[in-house]
Structure 1
Amino acid sequence: MDEKLKKLRDHMTTTDFKNIRFDDEKKQLVMKRIINQKETTKSWIPKAVSTIFSLAIVFIVFFSGRHLLFDSSNLVQGSKESSGKIVNQEGITLSDNTNEVIDSNHENSPDLSKKEILYRMLNTNDYFKTAQGSYVYRNPYIKQKVFYKLNMEKGDIGGYEQAVNEQSNSSVTTIVKSDKILTLHEEQKEYLLTKAFSLNGDSISLDEVYGKDEYGSSVITYRERPPIGRDSLFPFEIVANYLEDEKQWEIEQEENYLGEKVIVIRGDLSAFNRETHQSVSFKFWVHKATGILMKMETYSAEGNVVNSLKTQKLILDKPIPSSEFQLNIPKDFKKMM
């Protein structure tokens, strides 16, 4: 039982829940909802696993007593070739070339206001159809490379992500096909196949993002989006936490990053986020045409980088055959309990 809880806690604190604000008010809210046995989830998470997520949150509350941390996981092993590429089990290959530039036909956008930048970053789904690439994410606890492909054309979503832990060389693979999500944990030889009700919800306004629930507690409403490359392609949690107060950040300049126009944002963290992320300030490099987070750094009071995300490769709106995404479960894998 202890091992299962440990695995569940590791998974929760390194995937979609890593950027969620979870203060004392939220802890009390969770307990109220468990007592009243009410379903309040509004996301792509299937009802079949909502109980597991609730238990995981309670476990984290009592055993960590702090906010959830900031990034992804420690799972599926890719085979490395001498060419420096990582090849996954489905044969999808992504180059790990840090000098490769973006190949994009997106037109330059006019100057954007703070609200327009915020809206675009919260609704990146609307600004591209396909994406493939890689990025590196690092914080005091995790060093990770993420390789991904995603096709959202015609509403039939297909995607692939492999997150490789640099310390252990272990990784997790996530494959999306229509309304199903397959997660493969190579190190444990386990899989989880779930059904998602929505992977690409309607656009969300700024007024809809921040609100109050039935208990009067502050809540953030999330737009549904595929669980692929989320820190960069769909940086909703990061944006909702860091950019909520427009007085705390400024548009610094425009510049080129990997050959593409980006907007540079610099700001100070709230007292809450300073404690959570061990940082006092941050800097974002935002893809101007789409709102994708290309690069991010947070800084300590001494000016040292604490958390960082750096895109190494991004190709937008290049056709990706849907046949590349198959829900194949290896024969030697067992279902995750």
Structure 2
Amino acid sequence: MSDMLDQLKEVLDEQVLKDLDFRERNKAVVRNHFKSNREPSREKKRFGLGVLLSFGFTVLFIGFSSYFVLNHLGLTQEENLSNEKKELKEHQEPKSITHPHTKENYEDMTKEDVLHKLFNSVDYFETASGQFERYDLYYDGSISKSTVEYKMSNKGVIGGYEKVTSHPDPNNPQTKETIDKTYYNKENVWRLNLEFNDYSKDENIREKKRKIVKAEDIFNMDPKDIYEYEYREMYRETPPNMAAFASLYNYQFLAKYLRNENEWSIEKQNEQLLEHNTLVIAGTLDDSLVNIMQPDEKDFRIWVDKDTGIIVKEEVYSESGELVSYIHPTSLEINKTFHENEFEPDLDGFQKRRMLDLPPMDEREKELEVIEHADTKLSEVEEVLAIQRDTMPLFYELDDPKITPFSASIEQYHEDLQAFVVYSYDKPENEIGSGSRLLYTRIYPKDTYLRKTGDFDRPLGEEIESTTMNGVQWSLFNVEGTEDVHVKGETGDYVIEIVTHEVSASEMKRLLGTYKKAE
């Protein structure tokens, strides 16, 4: 009984009396009341109206208190049922959290202000959802066009969803519409392909929060490292990779287009776009930064949400003013509330994607080191070729007017140096990139360990012939199932290999006559 009264006191204190303001003046009134009633008047009737009201109030108070205590202690069947219903309801209702209401920013921003927001956008919104169309025109006239719908939550309920609809290229009848979806939460990432009705599921390895990024640190990077994976920690942390990053966290794009601050300016401080107040940047891309896949990119304009640093809209133009790339939005909502079940897929009708059984990685792979590497830009490739001539104990080169070096690298395993060169063969002058006809070459010591690559590891067919040229004993093989050729040569303690792509055996044999030791 004593325990029950103690619990009654706690319940009354916490639930019934918690909002009563019982100050010193109230206590004085109570003390005076008890003092004046110690000797009740004998003239009052024992069972007067006041007594009856007091008695009735007392009965009601005791009844209410008893019922309240029994309910609070879980001693009634109704309360047990109520609790069960409440728990069931909480289990059925998905978790959600509300987010602060955003206010539009109309204050003027400096270049330093806008760069800070752009490179640290992850700090300035909790959730984002929207839709935009993305378009790119490439050197060969082909286009890429897609519609991206997304919702993403950085705080509270962690997760994201995205639907990417890739539209067919009107200039290429072989292309067709495809739809891919991505979901992620704290634990997993799901990627669904709606054409094959399959999906992959991987662990969501969440990146740790990184320190605030300074624009000058990004701009001090070598331009060729902007998109390299090993430099990702130069930028702020992001969720699992999604197409929506082009708007929300496109840090690499900014590192390229805004790196020369003298080449861009703030065109407008305030422009309304999708009910957001944006700042408009206009500029010109330096020729040294032009992407060979989009050689016509020149001028650009970027619409930045002033509150969050999100790229709401983006356009890149050729010198003649033609759009060669853009992001055009149709909606954008900031800090909308999401439920956790919005970030998990319904996998009914989908099968798990079958992954190729890759062989375990050779531990020696960790001991390989890339010493030099360059591709695409001929001037940089030529620099690596010069290093190969100076440092490699044995180095051979192709010398033919139809040959252009496309990439070159030096790798090292322990003390062994290995040279790799990819040549473009008979490439049309108006063709951008490596071209379709290629020669892959590598030179290395006989007993060294080599990185596994698909170009050199394809199964060999029949031997075509053997020959000796320029001090090298050559053997020519067909590549099984193709028209390509794999050539193996030996000279002293070194091995030389050449693999063709769309270059015939007769052409390859002719080229071997030009393959000479570098002086």
Give the TM-score normalised by the residue count of structure 1: 0.63
Match of 1:322 in 2: 340
Q: Distance in 2 between matches of 1:148 and 1:273?
A: 30
Q: Out of 144, 147, 150, which is 1:148 matched to? A: 150
- Give aligned-pair identity as a percent: 28
Contact 2:197 2:349 in 1 (8 A): no
RMSD across aligned positions (CA) = 2.4
Matching residue's letter, 1:224: E
Contact 2:199 2:351 in 1 (8 A): yes
Higher relative contact order (CA 8 A, sep 6+): 1
Q: Out of 181, 188, 206, which is 1:173 matched to? A: 181
Q: Does 1:187 align with 2:195?
A: yes
Seen in structure 2, the aligned counterparts of structure 1 residues 322 and 200 have a Cα distance that, compared at 3 Å, is: farther
Matching residue's letter, 2:321: G
Match of 2:422 in 1: none
Match of 1:73 in 2: none
Contact 2:185 2:204 in 1 (8 A): no
Q: Out of 310, 314, 318, which is 2:328 matched to? A: 310
Matching residue's letter, 1:143: K
* More displaced stretch, 180-189 vs 104-113: 104-113
- 1:261 is paired with a residue whose SS is strand
Q: Does 1:131 align with 2:147?
A: no
Seen in structure 2, the aligned counterparts of structure 1 residues 259 and 281 have a Cα distance that, compared at 3 Å, is: same
Q: Does 1:239 align with 2:254?
A: yes
Equivalent residues in 2 for 1:28-43, closer than 5 Å:
none
Q: Does 1:110 align with 2:112?
A: no
Match of 1:249 in 2: 264
Question: How big is the shift at 1:336?
Answer: 4.6
Matching residue's letter, 1:131: A
Question: How big is the shift at 1:251?
Answer: 0.6
Larger-Rg structure: 2
Seen in structure 2, the aligned counterparts of structure 1 residues 186 and 272 have a Cα distance that, compared at 3 Å, is: farther
Q: Distance in 2 between matches of 1:237 and 1:109?
A: 27
Question: How big is the shift at 1:330?
Answer: 4.1
Question: How big is the shift at 1:331?
Answer: 4.6
- 1:139 is paired with a residue whose SS is strand
Structure 1 alignment gaps of length 5 or more:
1-103
Question: How big is the shift at 1:328?
Answer: 4.2
- 1:184 is paired with a residue whose SS is strand
Contact 1:297 1:305 in 2 (8 A): yes
Match of 1:75 in 2: none
Seen in structure 2, the aligned counterparts of structure 1 residues 129 and 325 have a Cα distance that, compared at 3 Å, is: same
Contact 2:128 2:335 in 1 (8 A): yes
Give the TM-score normalised by the residue count of structure 2: 0.42
Matching residue's letter, 1:205: K
Q: Name the count of aligned residue pairs.
A: 231
Seen in structure 2, the aligned counterparts of structure 1 residues 248 and 336 have a Cα distance that, compared at 3 Å, is: farther
Structure 2 alignment gaps of length 5 or more:
1-100, 138-142, 169-175, 356-519
Question: How big is the shift at 1:333?
Answer: 2.0
Seen in structure 2, the aligned counterparts of structure 1 residues 268 and 217 have a Cα distance that, compared at 3 Å, is: closer
Match of 2:164 in 1: 163
Matching residue's letter, 1:184: L
Contact 2:191 2:200 in 1 (8 A): yes
Contact 1:200 1:225 in 2 (8 A): no
Q: Out of 287, 307, 319, which is 1:271 matched to? A: 287
Match of 1:301 in 2: 319
Residue by residue over 1:18-50, the C-alpha shift from the partner in whole angstroms, topping out at 9 and shown as x without a partner, is: xxxxxxxxxxxxxxxxxxxxxxxxxxxxxxxxx
Q: Distance in 2 between matches of 1:194 and 1:236?
A: 25
Q: Out of 220, 225, 231, which is 2:238 matched to? A: 225
Q: Distance in 2 between matches of 1:267 and 1:217?
A: 21
Matching residue's letter, 2:266: I
Equivalent residues in 2 for 1:86-97, closer than 5 Å:
none
Question: How big is the shift at 1:198?
Answer: 2.1
Q: Distance in 2 between matches of 1:318 and 1:269?
A: 35
Equivalent residues in 2 for 1:204-215, closer than 5 Å:
204-210=213-219
Seen in structure 2, the aligned counterparts of structure 1 residues 307 and 178 have a Cα distance that, compared at 3 Å, is: same
Q: Distance in 2 between matches of 1:258 and 1:200?
A: 32
* More displaced stretch, 259-268 vs 276-285: 276-285
Matching residue's letter, 1:225: T
Q: Distance in 2 between matches of 1:218 and 1:334?
A: 35
Question: How big is the shift at 1:113?
Answer: 1.4
Q: Distance in 1 between matches of 2:321 and 2:130?
A: 29
Match of 1:262 in 2: 278
Match of 2:63 in 1: none
Q: Out of 320, 332, 335, which is 2:350 matched to? A: 332
- 1:266 is paired with a residue whose SS is strand
Q: Does 1:285 align with 2:303?
A: yes
Contact 2:106 2:277 in 1 (8 A): no
